[in-house]
Amino acid sequence: MTKKKRKTRAQRRPRKYSPRRFKLAIALLGLLSAFLFAVAAVFTYHTLRFTALVDAKLVGESNERPATVYSRPFELRQGQRLSRDELVAILNDLGYRQQPSLGDTSGTFALTDGADTVHVRRSGEFRAPVTVDFDRLWVSSLQESRSGARLERIDFGRVPVTTLFGADRTKRRWVPLEEIPPHVSQAILATEDRRFYSHTGFDPIGIARALVTDLLSGELRQGASTITQQLVKNYFLTPERTWRRKVLEAYLAVLLESRASKDEILELYVNEVYLGQRGSFGINGVEQAAQIFFGKNVGNLTIAQSALLAAIIRAPNASSPHRYPEQIRERRNVVLRQMVDAGFIDETSAEFESTRPLGLIEGTVDRGEAPYFVDALTRELTKDYEARNLQTRGLSVFSTMDPYLQSRAQQALVEGLEEIRSKLPQGAESPQAALVALSPRTGDVLAIVGARSYGTSQFNRAVDAHRQPGSAFKPFVYLAAFENDSSLTPATTVVDEPTTFRQAGKAWTPQNYSRRFEGRVSYRRALALSLNVATARIGQDVGFDQVVALWKAMGMSSELSPYPSLVLGAFEVTPLELATAYAVLANGGYRIEPRFYTKLSDASGATLGERPVVSRPVASPESAYLVTDMMRSVLTFGTAKEIRARGFTADAAGKTGTTNDTRDAWFVGYTPDALTVVWVGYDDNRPLGLTGSQAALPIWTRVMKAAVSGKEKERFVPPDGIAFVDVDPASNKIAGANCPTRQREAFRRGTEPEERCPLH
């Protein structure tokens, strides 16, 4: 039976397919071919598309860099107020490498253990090594290390300050991979992607190892994404957590590996990796983080510090070293152990590095980054250049910022506000402050601080806050008087007594701040003591419209009305505008246009634009000098005499400023080389309760001590049209042998007194 069945089956004829079945088979085959073709087309399209994106990103990262802002060249001077640690910080900013001992490599420095000494071999050829000795906070000596020859000053290069940021407010400093020490990259590889140089972008072995490690330790110790995957996630993908995105991430990682070398990918990563937030800025890249966390060039990081940076990558904001020091110490030591496991360092080194302190500095972009200055600089640049070009073409901006003075200014403002707190009623809110320092000879803005902290307030009060100048305006009343009547001198007298002026049809009776009247006083004494009534009388004599005309001729934009109250600064100016006005006095009657940069060059070094010194005469040199000489007395016996008590000895002129109800406190002063304006007050215009000498003067003194350190001997040089005569202050006549006191007074030639003092 079975055999018969088998035979019957064998003898069956082949099955014939009907035309209908044949057509169905052909259709199915066509659909399958179309599907496979569509898949291939989609794959090819996306491959080409993502290849173009990857190539564009690689080219962009290689050729498109944000503009780098450089400071003016740093000058180290004998007698400068600078500590060893501060010089080390500046050398780090300059990119100098620290060595155990100074060799023949330029751009290096070494420290002497147990001594306040720094040995430096400057960048460039044929630079002899120099030795810098310190006496606590002062540079005590500069000398060539080999010959022992004494030096007055040492010039260094321009300090890289920051890069111009875009709308994302990201701070980064790009560093080539070859300039990054191996232990920095190794710390990152050990914790983020140990098999980086072995895989093709996607690493199944690494994922399996990380999973086992995390399960055994009971915590998330190793990540599953490769460095390449992390890059493509940040560059091309959204942060959503889906299987589709993970598959696409792996695919793009393999694609990126096919388009770039391992070193190129690692260079991208170490310069782009996110390492936390400081105020309103995101911190990206190991160089920027090294500056923010340690105040160092990345090339000077220790192994422990490198491990700390690597420890932050996993959870940057949750691992903030300043907020969670103990947790980050533990995580740093885990990274050191991972470096041992990866064969990057040995057990002994790891044990030693794990005992090191964290070595953190105050984590703020205010230090070294000069954010308020850079904001003002960016505003100036965007008047002439497209913002996108400034952020993508790798330009170099040679700014006018003095890195040493900018750092001192920020420190002085914070310390000064702390001092002010002790003068305010208990529980009173701390006020705000702003500061502008510039060179009156060139208009170069040397330093700008717009508030106590950029992290808490990005409003730049130094250039944007419009406040009443108060008595700080008075010198321009005297300048107008000297300009309109050449017979007037600082010895000319005016009566200081109760007076009522007519203002817009109303009576105005000003009072002196002391509520006392001096009677007949010289112009010098009236300005030194900031006498309101005497100054108003001078304004009336010269004509209030003439004071307004002079202000406009000086190029000031603030609106003034020719009323008596203008002598008390009853209008609004910004600190930068007031600094520009005072520069006319300091610069012999020439208006100098403030500038924030001198030159802009492209990536090849070709100059794209320059900002020359722009000046024009608006007052005579003699009138400007007479006002300057009168303002010297403000510091010797006037409202700012505390400056001398605080140890400021340089030749300087200045003026306090206090508005009605003490809503604004000012001090403006200058030496032949530097001019600084300080404002203190509340943003909501409530009364401060302190005068300019109480609130602004201490900050100014701190800043200007730094500005003149090593240059204290510079003095104002009078123009040829000025003569000096010793007079008796009581009579303002030529002092005789019997006069108990004498004042060396400045006069325009031809206006000197001819009579001897009749009183003695």
Decide if 270 is inside a domain. Answer: yes
What does the pLDDT read at residue 58?
A: 59
Average pLDDT over residues 51-72: 66
Mean pLDDT of the chain: 85
Domain containing 573 — which CATH number? 3.40.710.10
Decide if 373 is inside a domain. Answer: no
Decide if 634 is inside a domain. Answer: yes
- Residues 6 or more apart whose Cβ sits within 8 Å of residue 402: 71, 72, 437, 446, 447
The range of the structural domain enclosing residue 627 comes to: 463-708
The percentage of the chain sitting over the pLDDT mark of 70, rounded to a whole number, equals 85
Average pLDDT over residues 679-695: 95
| 158 and 231 assigned to the same domain | no
| 743 and 683 assigned to the same domain | no
Which of 9-18, 43-52, 222-231, 600-609 has the lowest average pLDDT? 9-18
Which one of 86, 192, 380, 622 is the catalytic residue? Answer: 192
- E-strand ranges in 207-315 read 274-278, 281-284
Query: Does the pLDDT at position 363 exceed 60?
Result: no
What does the pLDDT read at residue 758?
A: 87
- Distance CA(309)–CA(525), nearest Å, equals 60
Decide if 352 is inside a domain. Answer: yes
What does the pLDDT read at residue 220?
A: 45
Decide if 440 is inside a domain. Answer: no
Query: Does the pLDDT at position 49 exceed 70?
Result: no
| 672 and 593 assigned to the same domain | yes
Decide if 219 is inside a domain. Answer: yes
- Between residues 511 and 654, the one the model is more confident about: 654
- Distance CA(220)–CA(222), nearest Å, equals 6
What does the pLDDT read at residue 209?
A: 64
Active site residue 261: no
pLDDT digits (tens, 9 = 90+) for 121-157: 887 766 788 999 998 888 999 998 888 889 988 888 8
| 139 and 225 assigned to the same domain | no
What does the pLDDT read at residue 3?
A: 47
Domain final position from 685, 708, 731: 708
- Between residues 32 and 541, the one the model is more confident about: 541
Q: How far is CA 168 from CA 36, 59, 240, 298, 460, in A?
A: 43, 21, 20, 24, 19
Average pLDDT over residues 25-33: 75
Which of 168-182, 313-327, 338-352, 402-416 has the lowest average pLDDT? 168-182
What does the pLDDT read at residue 545?
A: 93
| 654 and 698 assigned to the same domain | yes
Query: Does the pLDDT at position 566 exceed 80?
Result: yes
| 645 and 728 assigned to the same domain | no
Decide if 3 is inside a domain. Answer: no
| 159 and 174 assigned to the same domain | no
- Distance CA(496)–CA(368), nearest Å, equals 49
| 678 and 742 assigned to the same domain | no
Decide if 56 is inside a domain. Answer: no
Domain containing 108 — which CATH number? 3.30.2060.10
| 672 and 752 assigned to the same domain | no
Which of 28-32, 417-421, 564-568, 708-712 has the lowest average pLDDT? 28-32
Average pLDDT over residues 299-319: 88
- pLDDT band with cut points at 50, 70 and 90 for residue 759: confident
| 246 and 155 assigned to the same domain | no
Residue 511 and residue 614 in contact, taking contact as beta carbons nearer than 8 Å: no
| Number of structural domains the chain divides into | 4
**Quick one: which of 274, 364, 373 has its CA closest to 70?**
373
| 285 and 158 assigned to the same domain | no
Which one of 306, 471, 623, 731 is the catalytic residue? Answer: 471
| 147 and 197 assigned to the same domain | no
pTM, whole model, 2 decimals? 0.80
What does the pLDDT read at residue 487?
A: 94
Active site residue 192: yes
Domain final position from 124, 145, 163: 163
Domain final position from 135, 163, 191: 163
Average pLDDT over residues 435-445: 97
Which of 31-45, 529-543, 692-706 has the lowest average pLDDT? 31-45
DSSP 756: B
